[in-house]
Amino acid sequence: EIVLTQSPGTLSLSPGERATLSCRASQSVSTTYLAWYQQKPGQAPRLLIYGTSNRATGIPYRFSGSGSGTDFTLTISGLEPEDFAVYYCQQYGRSFTFGQGTKLEIK
């Protein structure tokens, strides 16, 4: 099983700042099979990024993804108030696994 480890566990930032979230895999993941989701309290997750760097439908340009091999990054440029949430990475190349999540909170 591919284990995904996200860091940091909690990230405290202010609106307007840049957020950098990390996802490290226990073995190499093809860039084709790495996604990011956003989840707000009481809501279902929402797909943000797939294939490492492709924005899903309706996702603002401030969300971007990068990485390869075992290290992947979600960057949010210019945080908006609605961006404070929990973010999960997911690999879907060998079965399906999620990271444990990063909570992005308002500083």
* Residues at the contact surface with another protein, assessed by CB under 8 A: 35, 37, 39, 44-47, 50, 56-57, 88, 90, 92, 95-101
Could you tell me the smallest distance in angstroms from the CB atom of residue 65 to another protein?
A: 12
Could you tell me the smallest distance in angstroms from the CB atom of residue 27 to another protein?
A: 17
- Tell me whether residue 7 or residue 15 sits nearer to another protein (CB atom): 7
- Tell me whether residue 79 or residue 89 sits nearer to another protein (CB atom): 89
Could you tell me the smallest distance in angstroms from the CB atom of residue 47 to another protein?
A: 5
- Cα→Cα distances 38→1, 5, 27, 28, Å: 23, 16, 24, 23
- Tell me whether residue 13 or residue 47 sits nearer to another protein (CB atom): 47
Sequence letter at residue 41: P
Side-chain-side CA neighbours of 15 within 13 Å: the count stands at 4
CB atoms within 10 A of CB 23: 27
Sequence letter at residue 103: K
